[in-house]
């Protein structure tokens, strides 16, 4: 069980970092999604 708990702890830390990056670069991500949707459409 300890290895599973360690993996969960690492995953939670990585998710926290990813969410922080998305929060900081929200405008960039939004613009990228708009460009991607225009290419698809």
The reported pTM is 0.50
In 3-state terms, what secondary structure has residue 40?
Answer: helix
Q: At what angle do helices 26-40 and 2-24 cross, to 10 degrees?
A: 80
pLDDT of residue 29: 57
Separation between Cα atoms, residue 27 and residue 34, nearest integer Å: 11
Considering its fold, how many domains does the chain have in total?
1
Separation between Cα atoms, residue 2 and residue 7, nearest integer Å: 9
pLDDT grade for 41, boundaries at 50, 70 and 90:
low
Give the pLDDT confidence of 6-38 residue by residue, as tens digits: 999 999 999 988 888 777 666 565 566 666 666
By residue range, what is the domain housing residue 34? 2-38
pLDDT grade for 5, boundaries at 50, 70 and 90:
very high
pLDDT of residue 38: 62
């Amino acid at each position: 069980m300890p290895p599973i708990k360690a993996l969960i702890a690492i995953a939670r830390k990585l998710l926290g970092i990813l969410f922080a990056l998305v929060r900081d670069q929200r405008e960039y991500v939004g613009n990228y999604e708009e460009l991607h949707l225009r290419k698809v459409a």
